């Protein structure tokens, strides 16, 4: 338990990007994740930023395309890139890109055939957190933040709202903010959690903001030309929800940008500055 | 002739990344290329930097992974990303990754079955240059630079050495500097140019530097742990060749870095500053 094996390593922006495999108890399969360790970790513990990716992604999408390492190296943040679901021949799957492997939605499935492996909330919040603490000694687990894209934006926002003391800074690109009431979320929540729509609200940013706002500012960027905004993201619903609940929000709609990593990379610098300002001041 | 059709477009770092198809006379097939236009082009003509990619790549590798748009937007440089070869069902190919489609080597083939389509030097230097001039009116063709990675580093160095008045700034990541005497180049030069090794020297950086050094500084970065350095790149041979020929050279060997875009992206900022300093002062 807790042992990791290094599968790949790349020097990047003066730090190291490493890819590890480990046997996951929560997901009952081998899980792969990546870690970027900034050069500042040579001199002491550094804050930890969790990056949660979107549908169909692995650790690689953000590490290759988002430009995050440059800013992590500037600000001295470690970045953890979990996978987006359990994987493997023995793991349930679906032909669709938006259900099953690659579409874990950062929740714990209660329904068959998903429940035995699809425990991504438990995996990210508890198991992988312990694995990082036990194996990456320069990770300062008292200073954690969380961000992500699309389905991973949903993950970042909901995990922060559920665990505000854990994830002290939070941001999201193009997030699915209302999965309990939009197609991607409805499909996966029905499959993973069953038909009780009331239970879905425990994993829905709009519902969570209204129920349990936090003291943090939610930083959200969305492309004005995001091809998934309506009906999949409906990210503008976050504006009224935060206003009603008294949740601090910085919500930027970026002219001309779409849903891709070309958009994410363009504003990664401002998100990383947001996280660094909070995490480096603790 | 000269007409281009826009297939994709992405807003990126305040500029636009666009992907075009056009019918190539030189390559006798449909060719695809990408262009990043920086925000400064809204206010006037901007310099043009050619990015030549390596084996197996298309326009997409650098646009997605190198981080080049960020620096192009900072410095106000247009970037052109040509493909690495002609492509299509009617185009000769080979099962190997290092011959045929994806491996054009930026030379003009004289041998069958390659000669009808593999005219990449003619394509990049003349045809695509005209296409850019005719269609992208903010491209200042009096201020051009060239860079690339691996096979594209070979392309950048050789095309600069052949056309120093055209490509006023030049740099290369992990370049194949001596293709006439290393395995990748020997394989492709034999196939495309035939068995006369003397003729290969017209497309070999080491030979060209000795024969016709330029007034520009060659900026070259190589990873100290590049897995292809020996025997494929042999990039260190450039040091003595430049010293002997009086060619100005800045040659950086970067500790711990490999051949990947994790390396390229880490030093893209210094290369773009190099090009901008030359091209923006003209």
What is the tens place of the pLDDT at every residue in B5-26? 999 999 999 999 999 999 999 9
Give CA–CA dist B207/B222, Å, rounded: 20
* Distance of alpha carbon B270 from alpha carbon B171, whole angstroms: 10
Instruction: Check: CB of residue B39 under 8 Å from CB of residue B132.
Output: no
Q: What tokens does A224 get?
A: 């004005």
- Strand bridging mode B15-24 / B4-12: antiparallel
Residue of chain A whose alpha carbon sits nearest to that of B73 = A266
- Beta carbons within 8 Å of A32's beta carbon, 6+ residues apart: A7, A19, A20, A21, A58, A59, A83, A87
Looking from the CA of B173 toward its CB, the CA atoms found within 13 Å total: 29
Chain B residues interacting with chain A (CB cutoff of 8 angstroms): 10-14, 16-17, 64-65, 67, 69-70, 223, 225, 254-258, 260-263, 265-266
Q: What span, in angstroms and rounded, lies between the C-alpha atoms of B146 and B53?
A: 11
Q: Which two tokens stand for residue A11?
A: 């020097």
- Distance between CA A62 and CA A35 in Å, rounded? 11
Nearest to A260 among B10, B223, B266 (CB): B10
**Phi, psi values for residue A49, rounded to 5°:** -110, 125
Q: How confident is the model at residue B282 (pLDDT cuts 50, 70, 90)?
A: confident
CA distances from B229 to B2, B102, B144, B177, B222 (A): 39, 20, 29, 10, 9
pLDDT of amino acid B149: 98
Which tokens is B180 given? Answer: 């006439």
Tens of pLDDT, residue by residue over A79-101, are 999 999 999 999 999 999 999 99
Of A53, A85, A150, A169, catalytic: A150
pTM summary value? 0.96
Task: Say if residue B257's pLDDT is above 90.
Answer: yes
> Distance between CA atoms of B24 and B82, rounded to whole angstroms?
12
d(CA B173, CA B151): 10
A107-139 confidence digits (pLDDT tens): 999 999 999 999 999 999 999 999 999 999 999
Element (H, E) at B199: helix B197-200
Do the Cβ atoms of B64 and A10 come within 8 Å? no
Best of A10, A254, A255, A257 to disrupt the B interface by mutation (most B CBs within 10 Å)?
Answer: A10
Contacts of A14 in chain B (CB under 8 A): 266
Which residues from chain B sit within 8 angstroms of residue A267, using beta carbons? none
Q: Out of B160, B259, B271, B275, pick the active-site residue.
A: B259
A147: which strand partners? A51
pLDDT tens sequence across A132-155: 999 999 999 999 999 999 999 999
Determine the pLDDT at residue A277: 98
Confidence of residue A2 (pLDDT cuts 50, 70, 90): confident
Q: What is the mean pLDDT of chain B?
A: 97
CB pairs under 8 A between A and B: 66
- Residue B171 · residue B275 · CB < 8 Å: yes
A226 is catalytic: yes
| Residue (of A53, A64, A57) closest to A10 by Cα position | A64
A84: distance to nearest CA of chain B, Å?
20
First to last CA, chain B: 31
Q: Do A265 and B11 touch (CB under 8 A)?
A: no
Using DSSP, state whether B24 is helix, strand or coil.
Answer: strand
Contact yes or no for A222/A188 (Cβ under 8 A): no
pLDDT in tens, A256-273: 999 999 999 999 999 999
Residue A282 above 90 pLDDT? Answer: no
**Cβ–Cβ < 8 Å for B148, B90:** no
B67: left (phi over 0), alpha (psi -120 to 50) or beta: left
DSSP class of A217: P
Cα dist from B150 to A257, B46, B120, B221, B222, whole Å: 31, 27, 16, 11, 10
Pair of tokens at residue A13: 């922006």
Phi, psi of A209, rounded to the nearest 5 degrees: -60, -45
pLDDT classification of B78: cutoffs 50, 70, 90: very high
Nearest to A169 by CA among A77, A106, A44, A259: A77
Which 3 state secondary structure label does DSSP give A31? strand
The mean per-residue pLDDT over the stretch A178-199 comes to 97
Any catalytic annotation for residue B196?
no
* CA-closest candidate to residue B61, choices A205, A58, A52, A65: A65
pLDDT tens digits, one per residue of B133-170:
999 999 999 999 999 999 999 999 999 999 999 999 99
pLDDT for the residue numbered B2? 74
d(CA B13, CA B30): 29
Q: What is the mean pLDDT of residues B100-125?
A: 98
Q: Tell me the per-residue pLDDT of A9-39, one tens digit each, with 9 for 90 and over.
A: 999 999 999 999 999 999 999 999 999 999 9
DSSP strands (E only) in chain B:
4-12, 15-24, 29-37, 46-52, 78-82, 139-148, 167-173, 218-223, 249-254
């Amino acid at each position: 338990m807790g042992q990791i094996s290094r599968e790949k390593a790349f020097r990047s922006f003066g730090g190291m990007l490493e890819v590890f495999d480990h046997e996951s108890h929560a997901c009952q399969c081998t899980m792969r994740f990546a870690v970027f360790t900034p050069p500042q970790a040579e001199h002491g513990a550094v804050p930890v930023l969790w990056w949660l990716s979107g549908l169909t992604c692995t650790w690689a999408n953000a590490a290759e395309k988002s430009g995050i390492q440059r800013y992590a190296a500037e600000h001295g943040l470690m970045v953890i890139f979990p996978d987006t679901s359990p994987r493997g021949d023995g793991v349930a799957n679906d032909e669709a890109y938006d259900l099953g492997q690659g579409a874990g939605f950062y929740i714990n499935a209660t329904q068959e055939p998903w429940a035995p492996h699809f425990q991504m909330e438990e995996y990210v919040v508890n198991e992988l957190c312990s694995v990082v603490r036990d194996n990456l000694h320069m990770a300062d687990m008292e200073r954690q933040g969380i961000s992500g894209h699309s389905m991973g934006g949903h993950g970042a926002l909901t995990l922060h709202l559920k665990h505000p003391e854990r994830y002290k800074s939070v941001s999201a690109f193009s997030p699915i903010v209302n999965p309990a009431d939009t197609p991607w979320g409805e499909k996966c929540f029905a499959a993973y959690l069953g038909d009780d729509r009331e239970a879905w609200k425990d994993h829905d940013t709009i519902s969570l903001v209204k129920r349990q706002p936090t003291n943090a500012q939610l930083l959200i960027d969305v492309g004005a030309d995001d091809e998934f905004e309506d009906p999949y993201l409906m990210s503008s619903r976050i504006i009224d929800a935060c206003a009603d609940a008294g949740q601090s929000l910085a919500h930027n709609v970026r002219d001309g940008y779409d849903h891709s990593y070309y958009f994410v990379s363009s504003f990664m610098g401002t998100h990383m500055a947001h996280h660094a300002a909070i995490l480096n001041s603790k």
